Amino acid sequence: MPHSRQLTTNPLAEMSAVPEGLTATVPRQLVHRAAVAETLITGGAGTDADRFTVFAQWPRAHQLHVSSDRTAYEPLLAAETVRQAGTLVAHTAYEVPLGHHFVLKELRITTRPEHLAVGAVPAEPVLHMVVSDVDLRGGRPAGFRFDTEIRLGGERVATGHVAATWTSEAVYRRLRGGRTASGVSALPLPPGLPPAEVDRVLPADVVLAPSGNPDRWQLRVDTAHAVFFDHPLDHVPGMLLLEAVRQAVRTRNGRKAPVSFHTVFHQYAELDRPTWIEILDKQGAHDTDVQVVGQQGDSTVFECAVATEKG
């Protein structure tokens, strides 16, 4: 008979009584963040067999995930929240050791922008998660899928689906063939597109460089970027690839804003190889209207079907 998995509590919180109404983030290591400022999750609990409720807080201002006029939350904030919720549940309910490496295989996020306005206080979304297809190896979980519904004030504002696996440090190092964050350097940054063209304010947040082809760009990988590279990595992070998709769609699709992303990741994007982002001349699946791919050499790193705002 299935049993209800419970998220382990924060041992630091058990050492002192926290007055009712006060909120703190979960330990940043549980969501694979180095900066407390980038930690979005505030808690969670198991509600039934493989079902969880996770709590988060969204800031009213953010370098990437809030619109430049500070009126709206970006869809990729929902994606990052779902990612963090998945790592929290994996570590606390499925007993994945903190030293393990996660591999994101698939991410689908669909948002309702009309419900993503920034209010007078930070938003406190609630995520309802259902885990399925737990992959057991040697009797221990080695991966899973989960579906998520994000609600704000009782209103559904986004849904998500994630497929991920994880592996030990030793196995990961063998898979990476000796590549380490300290041993691999990113390519020099090529000049980027004008920030306004990709709906950004700061040149440092532009992740696309022109290639001479209006539907193809080189990815700009700035390992000093404090959000994309919150901590050292030996590969290009998935959230940077998703931001590249966002910017590509913004610049080539009449500046329409993306509202959903369905991304399948095929392999690691290496720091020391050029990554090319291309919009294909075909519609995506699941009622999406733009198809974006990322390539290194002859290999496809990821594919992403995007739906944009109507009108």
Taking the C-alpha atoms of residue 162 and residue 239, their distance in angstroms, rounded to an integer, is 13
What does the pLDDT look like over 249-308, one tens digit per residue? Answer: 999 866 788 999 999 999 999 999 999 999 996 665 556 789 999 999 999 999 999 999
Taking the C-alpha atoms of residue 150 and residue 157, their distance in angstroms, rounded to an integer, is 6
Compute the half-sphere exposure of residue 221: CA atoms within 13 Å on the CB side of its CA.
25
pLDDT at residue 16 in the model: 36
* CATH number given to 185-308: 3.10.129.10
Residue whose tokens read 């963090």: 84
What does the pLDDT look like over 87-105, one tens digit per residue? Answer: 999 999 999 999 999 999 9
Which phi and psi (to 5°) does residue 210 adopt? -65, 150
Which phi and psi (to 5°) does residue 216 adopt? -145, 140
**Domain limits of the chain?**
11-174, 185-308
Amino acid code (one letter) for 59: P
What is the overall mean pLDDT for the chain? Answer: 91
Taking the C-alpha atoms of residue 243 and residue 297, their distance in angstroms, rounded to an integer, is 21
Arithmetic mean of pLDDT, 226-237: 97
Contact 51, 81 (CB under 8 A): no
pLDDT-above-90 percentage for the chain: 83
What does the pLDDT look like over 102-120, one tens digit per residue? Answer: 999 999 999 999 999 999 9
What does the pLDDT look like over 34-44, one tens digit per residue? Answer: 999 999 999 99
Please name which of 252, 225, 209, 232 lies closest in space to residue 64, comparing C-alpha atoms. Answer: 225
* CATH number given to 11-174: 3.10.129.10
What does the pLDDT look like over 45-80, one tens digit per residue? Answer: 998 889 999 999 999 999 999 998 999 999 999 999
What does the pLDDT look like over 177-187, one tens digit per residue? Answer: 989 999 999 99
Taking the C-alpha atoms of residue 32 and residue 176, their distance in angstroms, rounded to an integer, is 19
Q: Which tokens hold the place of 159?
A: 């849904």
